[in-house]
Structure 1
Amino acid sequence: MRRSPLSVRCRPLLLLMFLAGPCWADPCEQLAKPSVRVKLLDEPVSVDSQYGFKTLTIMGGKITRPGNTVLGLTRGTAIVKFETHFTTIVERSGQWECTSPQLTMSYGFSPMNVHVAREFTEGSCAYKEIYQHELRHVKTYQTHLAGIEKDLTDTLNARFATGGPWRGPVGQSRARIQQELTERWVPFIKREMNRVDAAQALVDSPEEYARVANSCNGDIRKLIR
């Protein structure tokens, strides 16, 4: 019997449907998309009066204006931490892999210490003036950290949350990401955090220093003389 032309035309269509089926799906599509989460560390502020103003002046080092005596000092250490979670699929040949990094970056100044010179008794007018001045420094730190959060989030998302898994030779993706975080991104974020130094210098203006030194009926100036 002569074959119908219709049955001949159907064969290529059925073949294409088979090739496009689940057997040819990309296994990497099973992975969740890479993601970045940024967390601002909420660190308590400690206060102490164990150092005298001469020691605080030395501790102030380069940030102290020439000729000034440091009556109080606020110091914070820039901390950047990455927590990483990787989900990886190795393709059938065992030579290539796809990896979805899930990153959480935490940053802040820790510890945050406020020092008031021990020559000033807690509860005194002088202590209160110096302490309130140092709280302005604390607020400056906090404002700066909050102000750079969006830019840090956008920058890290642009680099790591690419919308698809990372692909490369087996065993290399995780090491490559960890190395990049350590060598590139931790130093970068710390530099952005330490840009607060310019704002901190504005708090210690000559006018503010003179105001504090002359407060409390001149008790502070008399003592440091």
Structure 2
Amino acid sequence: MAAKETILFIPGHMCDERLFAPQIAALKGRYNIVVAGLKAGEAFETYIDNALEAVGDNRFNLVGLSMGGMLAAQMAAQHPRRVLRLALLSTTVEPEVPERAQTRRKRIERAKKAGLETIAREELAPSYLAAAHKTRTDLIDTVVAMAVDHGVDVFAAQSAAMTARRDCRNDLPGYKGPVLVLCGEEDRLFSVEKHKDIAELFEHSELVIQSAIGHLPVLEAPEATNAALETWLSRRV
């Protein structure tokens, strides 16, 4: 019997394995599942080193969403031979823009005063979800719980790391494995056009755009997202 392939999931900002719960449930019997922890560290390099240590020496499939996608892109650019297949969800490979950095600084200050639950419930969750999912308390509560469990110090550290992230656009064409680029049509953080730009960087990419879905396709449309991942995982390397 052939050894199971490994999938490394990298969560988004202030998220953990709960972000990928539907995908883990669907894939865990057939793959070795590793979820990167992003609570320790203050720079992308540290997060990447910790994730590589967690996944071990073998090659692996790599899935990242939002901040996790930024990290996955940098990891694939730096360690292309380690990554069997690459999936970039709801993300960007470009550097931070000044306006977004200013928003992050304001949120850190508000989080210190009002608490993370307030920030997550009033700012993060509403910006993540498509119009049809704005009142889904299960999704909102999951986003809030993950954020609160990370704490304000991690919120500040992850925010600073994203602000300082590198531009990966020139390095990514060197990655030659199968690539899935997936986004929601109603993602207000990273547009469909930006995801088209990402897909064009790679020689072997597939772009999947989900209608009436926001920034969290893994939770908003788990069955469709799982189907896209299954197709991606079936591609030869």
Band the TM-score falls in, shorter-chain normalisation: under 0.3
Larger radius of gyration: 1
Question: Which structure: greater strand fraction?
Answer: 1
